Structure formats: structure tokens, C-alpha cells
Amino acid sequence: MRAESQEALLKLHHAGGAVVPRRRLLDNHATPADALAAGKRAWREAELSEAQIHALERADNDALAASRAWLAQPGHHLLGWHDPDYPPQLRRIPSPPLALFVDGDPALLWHPSVAVVGSRVPTAGGRDTAYDFAHMLAASGFAVASGLAAGVDAAAHQGALAVESGLTIAVLGTGPDVPYPRENAGLMAQIAARGAVVSEHAPGTLARPSQFPSRNRILAGLALGTLVIEATLRSGALITAKLAGDYGREVFAVPGSIHNPMIRGCHQLIRDGACLVERADEVIAAVIPVAAELAATLRSRLETPISMPVETRETVVQPTRLDDPDYQNLWTALGHDPTGMDRLIERTGLTAAELSSMLLVMELEGHVSNHHGRYTRKTLSPNAPETGAGRGK
């Protein structure tokens, strides 16, 4: 984003108030800089309040300076509603945020993810279940999204990070530089280095109770589905699950003992129509069709369609856009022997997030096979019908 547009977006973000008029203002102009330069008449036409107009005219320089300083650091990004890289899943929810502060790789927000949420004080078994489900999801190529809270959230992030090149996303209810709880500061740093830490709140924003239900809508909106592991009837995890259901996303719940009060929220979700799951592969099979839709959007964004030429003895699937250096590089790096993500990173020089997105596109199209996080070129017998490429096929 150009400096003038980033500055304008920061001012619009810090103006506060209702988000819809500010999104409308961005929709009405080519760039945030144009929207800000349009002046009071255009702001009122977009139905900004007088308080918002006043805030735009008299920007809080201290708050803006803090955000500018944070964005000046390596790996820090600001994605706005106007940006073509704004995550498509989030655009579809009723109340998408105006902007996202991202510490890490913003491209990961396009990657198919599953939210794993639950109690802040789970049983030992619940913590292990969250870790194991997240580990398998990450090993299968999905990003694991959660809220960096104590308990199930932390175990889910840790389970994903334990996978070689596993991907995870932390959605915060504080600023992107404020870990909550504080004891998860080290975990947050690991996630920023390997995945993405995301917040709609400006740097320096401290924890407030009202911000966490709002955080949950982003978590539910980014993910293809939400998995709940141990939750009481009044758990915040149930808010995330309800929002996911309202957005038309899959909702999963792990059942447990009727004597465990931490499981009653999961049982209530199942009674209300959530999918009862006992294994991660059940979750994966359910979200694969939605992942295919997201992959189509990703292909359109990357403008790298892939086709399958026929050869005489064996049909070898390979990209036709050989002028695309990244795909050509990746195809050359792939072989017929299973290759792990770390080796592909070494061979291609691409990042884990870039490779994961490209491999997922190729896998869903039937060009690549994935077995426990190791990839090979897909080959088909010339007389055999093409089969589905998803992991659940």
C-alpha cells in the first residue's frame, strides 16, 4: 500500500464510530487517499457522523504516531477494506472490519483455515484433544485459527506449530502488539514468525471485555469451520460457534462425558445441529468442498490457472503457466518421491505460506498428492478416470 493511502486508512480507522459509513466511503473512491481528500461533502454523503468528521479533521496525532511506528517495523502490515488482498472469507460476513493489523504473513489470511476454540480452563484431556486435532489439521495443510487465549486456544496454536511448517493464525481482542494473557507473549511471537497475528484494533489497545465477542466474529469469519473442544454453556467459544453458524460455516463439536461440566456447551451445540466429530479427518472431509471454492478464488487472484496435458504412456499433471516463475520453480522442486515442506522451502526459496497456498491449489485440482504433509506430483493412468484431489476423497 502506498504511503499516502496507508496514512489515510489509518486516519479513517482511528476516526472510530460505525464501520459501515467508512466502508461505504472507501467503496465510493479508488483509494483511501482519494476518500480522505474528497472532503466533508463526500463524507456526509457516505453518512459519516459529525463525530467521525470531527475526528478526521482533528486526528489524534499521538495515536497515529503509535500506529505508524508499529507499521514501520518489518513484518507488520495493514490491510484495508479497499485492498484486493483483504481476505475473501471475511468480506462475506455481515460486519467485516474496516482494516486489519497483521504481524506476520498477510497472505495466510487467504489460506484455508479451521478455528479451534474452547475453554480457558480445560481438563488435561481437553487440552490434549485440542493439541491433537490442531496437529492433524496443520499436518493436512490447513491453517489452525484461534484466539491466543489460555487453555484450548493455546493448545491449538501449539499443536499447529509442532508440525513441520504448520500454519496458525491468532486473532486478538487487543492491539496486535498486546498479548492477552501476558503469559502467552512467547507463543504470540512464535505465531507471528511462522503464521499471522491479526487484530482490528490499533497497536497499543489494551484488553476490554467488549472487544472479545467482536474478536470472535473475525475468527469465525476467517475460518471455513469452527471446532469447539470443551465449553461450558456460558463459554465465549459458543459465541464463536453461533457466529460461524450464522455465517453459513461448518460447526463441529467434540462430545465427552456427561459428568464433565466443561462439555455441556459442546453437547448443546450438537443438539442444536453442530456436527459431532471424534477425529480430525472428519473435520477435514467436511471443509474440503469449501476449501475448493476458496482455492478457485485464490487462483483468480494469482491468475495462475492449471491444466492437465495428456502424454502417451502416463498422464503427468503439470502447470501450463510455465511463464509463472513461482509455479515453474515449485513444479521443478516436486518429484515422484514424497517431499516435505522444509525441503520444498529449501529448493524453491519460497515462504511456507506461499508454498502452502500454491500446493493447496494444485492439490485440489488433482495435480499434487499430499500424504501426511509430504507432497508428490500426481500421475494418472491414461485410461483411468480423473479422481477428486481433496484429502477427504
Pair 271, 323 in one domain: no
Distances (CA, A) of 155 to 99, 125, 152, 220, 332: 28, 11, 5, 18, 36
Residue ending a domain, choose from 259, 287, 315:
287
Pair 236, 158 in one domain: yes
Pair 14, 130 in one domain: no
Pair 178, 268 in one domain: yes
**Is 5 within the bounds of a domain?**
yes
Kindly report the pTM of this predicted structure.
0.77
**Is 386 within the bounds of a domain?**
no
**Is 294 within the bounds of a domain?**
no
Instruction: Give the CATH number, domain containing residue 213.
Output: 3.40.50.450
Range of the domain at 48: 1-59
Contacts of 2 (CB under 8 A, 6+ apart): 31, 33
**Is 134 within the bounds of a domain?**
yes
Give, for all 393 residues of the chain, the pLDDT tens digit.
678 999 999 999 999 999 999 999 999 999 999 999 999 999 999 999 999 999 999 877 888 999 999 999 999 999 999 998 899 999 999 999 999 999 999 999 999 999 999 999 999 999 999 999 999 999 988 999 999 999 999 999 999 999 988 999 999 999 999 999 999 999 999 999 999 999 999 999 999 999 999 999 999 999 999 999 999 999 999 999 999 999 999 999 999 999 999 999 999 999 999 999 999 999 998 988 777 777 666 666 655 443 333 333 333 334 434 456 777 788 888 877 788 877 888 888 887 767 776 777 676 666 787 766 678 887 543 333 333 333 333
Show contacts of 362-366: CB within 8 Å, 24+ apart. 362/306, 362/319, 362/330, 363/141, 363/389, 363/390, 363/391, 364/288, 364/291, 364/292, 364/295, 364/389, 364/390, 365/295, 365/306, 365/317, 365/389, 366/308, 366/317
Contact (Cβ atoms closer than 8 angstroms) between residue 344 and residue 164:
no
Pair 220, 311 in one domain: no
Pair 343, 239 in one domain: no
Pair 275, 151 in one domain: yes
Contact (Cβ atoms closer than 8 angstroms) between residue 64 and residue 10:
yes
**Is 74 within the bounds of a domain?**
no
Pair 272, 338 in one domain: no
Pair 178, 246 in one domain: yes
Contact (Cβ atoms closer than 8 angstroms) between residue 138 and residue 167:
yes
- HSE at residue 215, side-chain half, CA atoms within 13 A, is 30
